[in-house]
Each structure stands twice: as C-alpha cells, then as structure tokens.
Amino acid sequence: MGFKITKNTKTRFNDVDWNNLRFGVYFSDHIFISKYKDGKWDDGELVPYGGMTMEPGLCTLHYGQTIFEGLKAFRRTDGNGANLFRPDMNAKRLNRSASLVCIPNYDLPRLIDGMKELVKLDNKFIPKHKGQSLYLRPVVYGSGNFLGVTASAEYTLIVMTSPVASYYAAGLNPVKIMVSDDHVRAVKGGLGAAKTAANYAASLYAGMEAHRKGFSQVLWLDGVNRKDIDEVGAMNMMFVIDGELITPSLEKGTVLAGVTRDTVLTLAHEWGMKVSERDISIDEVVDAHANGKLSEAFGTGTAAVISPVGQLTYKGKDMIINDMKIGPISQKFYDTITGIQYGEAEDKHHWNQHITF
C-alpha cells in the first residue's frame, strides 16, 4: 500500500538522550495520520511529528470518545532490520475498542501497513540495545467540535512512535502490588475490555494512593462483589497454583484482552502446561498462598513482557511470593518471548512482521 509521505526538515534525533530513554518521553520524526469525514476514512499519510491545532469545543476533551493501542518494534540482534510484534492483534483490538465507544472501524491491512511504513521511515529511532525498543502508540479520537453527549461525526487516527528503554534496568525485579477493595476500575457491561481513556482516568486515584504506600501498581477486583481478580493497571495477571497456570477469563468483558496474555497462553499450551482461563477470586489466591501452593504470580504486558509479582497486599496483609524472587516459569516466558521479538529464537507462530530498511 503506498502512502503519501511528507518528510520533516529537521530531525528530532539529536534531542533524544539515548543514554536515558525512559518511557514515552521522546518522539520520533513522523506520524501516520488518517481522518474520518462524511462516513469514510481517508487513505492515511505520513507527516512530520508536531503541534496540532484544536478548538475548545473538541468533543473528545469533554466526553472522552477516544481509544488507543500500544505495541513495539524491536531491532533484530542479527542486524537484519526490525520485528514488529503481533501488530495484527493490536489492530484487531483497536477496532474492538472502537466499537465499544462508537468509533468507526479502521481498515486493518491499511493500519498495519501504515505502522510498518512509519517504522521503516523512522528506523534510526529504533534503539540499538537489547531490551530497548520503538514503542508505537496508535490513538483514535472524535475530532468534531460540538457540545452534547453524542458520538462524533469526525475522527482522527494517529500513530506516533517513541524510543523506549528496557523496562528492567538490572534483571527482572519482582514488584509489590496492592489489591484494591475500595476503588473499582470496570464493571460487567462497562468499558473494561476497551483500551479507552476512561479506564485509565478511573485508575489514577487508587494508583497514586498505592504509590504513596510504596506499591508499584494496583490489582483490581471485579466491580460488583470485589472478589474476583480482574487485572493490574497495565497488565493481565497470571498465577501458578499447584503447577497450573491460571488467569482470569475474558468472558465478563471487564479485562483487556492482552496480546502478551495470548502469547503466554499459546506458549503454555505448546509446552504442555495445565492452563485455565477462569474466574479466580482473591480468596483462592490467599488460600493457595497460605497452603504453600502459590509458587509464582506475574503480570503480562507489552511494557515489561513479564513482571514477576513478589508481594501482594490485601486488606493490610502481605503475601510474599517465591521469596520476592523471579520464578522459573516467569523467567522461561520472558526469555522465550524476548528471544522471538529480537529475532534470536524461532518464530513458529509467525508473530513477528519483519521490516527491512
């Protein structure tokens, strides 16, 4: 698919502190942009990254009709271009999120091609060291100007990219997580399965409270009975209990269908592990911990791939998991997935889309 490309006149490359990348601080030279008007999306084009004008009446500012995605491109260890990891999954999820907040769907092959073209054009921004990557952030928002709670008639899709550091400065450090039983993020019939701004706004208050108390994230329970585990701020949760890998099912629509979650489940099945996608209550986790059956807990997400959980605190009681050390199963998932992403391990499932430049 050919796209119109307008190149910038001055690169942003030298503004990047390549020795201190962090997350989402620097942006590359170009974006992919496409607009929806009169009932259809245009073809999309690549233009320089830069300021955009906005009217005070922009409907998204008032009513939050917006969705986003997050995925990564990895510079291959063998020097042969880059791998974009499972962009088809993110593109499909973008459309599922879109449908939940009445945003018109986008053509999937066009979006994937647009993202690949953008990575190719700005390939010098893909960091060089293993663990680092180029993060892609597609976002779609209602771009009509009006007041009134109704879906916009106009939309803008943007894909921007940002070189990001390795999530782990030194090894996979297990995190401390606070189980929230007073705040909720999503309820059945709500927007939990959508990657939409409202869910993240809803998570800020409890997230700040957790940080103040020394925890890195919040684990959300179901919004009705506050018993079943939903997910963590930006990760799906997995538990290894009595050798079985257990993760909350997606059936209730309160949890994001994580791409890393799917990757882990596919590998677990392939490795012959016992796997369950089902409701799992916090009480079951507390009991398994008390009986010595909870051997590992970890989060899965694009940012960290695997984030071992060393401590879960519920109703003021601390559960220390695997002595605050990463377990062998978490480590195996991390090594296998990152091996595939950097082109070091066989990509049996064709998860990578190879970009040459």
Residue ranges binding ligand PLP (CB under 6 A): 70, 231, 234-236, 256, 258-261, 300-302
Residue closer to ligand PLP, measured from CB, 73 or 234: 234
Classify residue 24 as left (phi > 0), alpha (psi -120 to 50) or beta: left
Residue closer to ligand PLP, measured from CB, 30 or 183: 183
Residue closer to ligand PLP, measured from CB, 34 or 236: 236
Residue closer to ligand PLP, measured from CB, 121 or 202: 202
**Smallest gap, in angstroms, from Cβ of residue 256 to ligand PLP?**
4
List alpha helices for 140-281, DSSP H. Answer: 197-212, 259-270
Nearest to 66 by CA among 187, 200, 164: 200
CB-based burial label for 6 (10 Å; 0-12, 13-18, 19+):
exposed
**Smallest gap, in angstroms, from Cβ of residue 114 to ligand PLP?**
19
**Residue 185 and residue 197: Cα distance in Å, rounded?**
12
**Residue 338 and residue 82: Cα distance in Å, rounded?**
13
> Both tokens of residue 270?
């392939």
Contact status, residue 269 vs residue 275, Cβ threshold 8 Å: yes
**Smallest gap, in angstroms, from Cβ of residue 191 to ligand PLP?**
11
**Smallest gap, in angstroms, from Cβ of residue 121 to ligand PLP?**
24
Residue closer to ligand PLP, measured from CB, 304 or 355: 304
**Residue 351 and residue 51: Cα distance in Å, rounded?**
34
**Smallest gap, in angstroms, from Cβ of residue 299 to ligand PLP?**
8
